[in-house]
Copies of this chain bind each other. A is one copy, B any other.
Amino acid sequence: MYSKELEAMLQKKGIIPGDEIRITTRKKTYEGILIPRPEFGDKNALVLKLKSGYNIGIRLRIGDKVEKKGSKRETFTLPKAELKKTLGLPKVTVIATGGTIGSSIDYTTGGVTSLVSQEELLYQIPELNGIAQFEMLNLEKRMSEDFIYKDWQELARHVARALSGSHGVVITHGTDTLHYTSAALSFMLHGLTGPVVVTGSQRSPDRGSSDAFMNFICASNFAAKAEVAEGGVCMHANSSDSSCSFIRGTKVRKMHTTRRDAFRPVNTRPIARVGADGSIEYTGEYKKSWEQRIKLKVMPGYEPKVALVKFYPNCDPDIIEYYISKRYRGIIIEGTGMGHVPVKPREENYSWVRYIKRAVDAGVVVGMTSQCLNGRVNSNVYTNLRLVSRAGAIYCEDMLPEVALIKLGWLLGNYRRTEAATLLDKNIVGEITQRSEIDWFP
């Protein structure tokens, strides 16, 4: 909210966000598009988007004038520049899928929408000319919460095609389900010849604090230079603008709604620290491109009838029955601690063991993970765990629940049921580590 006085003045002049206005102070005149007020900050200030693309906050004083110039209310677009192709530089294909990194504020509603084409972001970054020769592929723009498995399949096929002509691939993606997509790509693509780098931004490119530019520069540098034959996520490593982390695609999770360093490795350390200056420092183990023994292969099969069930106290196990009746082929349970669900609760109908057994008997593959996220499930420590395991639940080691879900969908889409069950707790693409790096717990 603005101050009462400012609010009244804007209302009187019929000025709303998106309007082109002129502010005349004692010292200077400013012209630009009025931007919706940030949640916090000076109640007597207006924020303008100047022609240069920059935002400026202007604190009004008595006597300052505000006039409406025109009614723009259109989406702000970044000015176009040119992206040169410097011969000799490695080739990188950018696949744009939408999300905040390819978005701008829609000044009609004040909300962020994904409208701008990805090229416009690239044109804003002169540094890119020295990193690689870029090829652009614009897929249909989609906010990441709207992604389904068919989008992963399509993306996997595009990545494979792109890798035939490029050293690496950068995928720009909304952050909400970015880690689900990175995990899906890791399972769907085998025999990679170079890095597949998924990146995005937590703050839209037209904000001063946007992480879009640095994330894109780091992702491009990694895709151009790294001899890593894995898929992963490249996002801010901390709250400063000094470096990004490249984290294995199956060991990463969005752990904060808004922070730029929201993406964190779980049960492992990042594969590399990617400096804003172009440096790459390897901090973990990874598969090298020259060690690949198989040809690049896409295994896009996916069974969407897999469910993730998060357990909580009083959770009626009838939910398992529901998925059996809906002919689901796999269920990943997010249990408590080392993989618990109730065995002897005070009321019989909250006991989960026999429902799990019924699902397994009906041919459903049931996997157990932990809602702690960090650490490993283990069916040997407590008697109750053994009972759950004996009922047929497969304990998924130190896999994230979300990754176990995608792995199971992928397994059931490519293998027979018994094989899928056998492979669920075996490492395939780095999703399970033999010993978790317990010290890499924040």
Contact = CB atoms under 8 A, between A and B. Distances in A.
Interface string A88-126: 000000000000000000100111110000000000000
B146 A346 contact: yes
A370 interface: yes
Given A148-B314, A372-B262, A405-B312, A382 B337 contact: no
B255 A374 contact: yes
A441 B386 contact: no
A176 interface: yes
A177 interface: yes
Contacts of A255: 372-374, 441
Interface in A297-342: 304, 306-308, 310, 312-315, 318-319, 322, 326, 334-342
A345 to B, nearest CB: 4
Contacts of A285: none
Given A148-B350, A342-B145, A383-B111, A372 B106 contact: no
B143 A340 contact: yes
Contacts of A147: 313, 345
Interface residues of A, number: 77
B111 A382 contact: yes
A375 interface: yes
A208 interface: no
A41 interface: no
A344 B112 CA distance: 15
Given A175-B337, A334-B310, A111 B380 contact: yes
How many copies make up the complex? 2
A291 interface: no
A254 interface: yes
A381 B112 contact: yes
Interface string A118-145: 0000000000000000000000001111
A151 interface: yes
Nearest to A342: B146
B313 A310 contact: no
A376 B145 CA distance: 17
Given A308-B310, A374-B256, A145 B341 contact: yes
Contacts of A384: 143, 145-146
A426 interface: no
B370 A257 contact: yes
A14 interface: no
Interface string A401-420: 01001000100000000000
A350 to B, nearest CB: 6
A393 interface: no
A145 B334 CA distance: 12
A157 interface: no
A203 to B, nearest CB: 10
A5 interface: no
A396 B219 CA distance: 34
30 contacts: A106-B383, A109-B386, A111-B380, A111-B385, A111-B386, A142-B344, A143-B344, A144-B336, A144-B337, A145-B340, A145-B342, A145-B384, A146-B342, A147-B313, A147-B345, A175-B337, A176-B337, A176-B340, A255-B372, A256-B372, A256-B374, A257-B339, A257-B372, A257-B375, A259-B441, A262-B372, A262-B375, A310-B310, A322-B322, A442-B442
Interface of A: 106, 109-113, 142-151, 175-177, 180, 254-259, 262, 304, 306-308, 310, 312-315, 318-319, 322, 326, 334-347, 350, 370-378, 380-386, 402, 405, 409, 438, 441-442
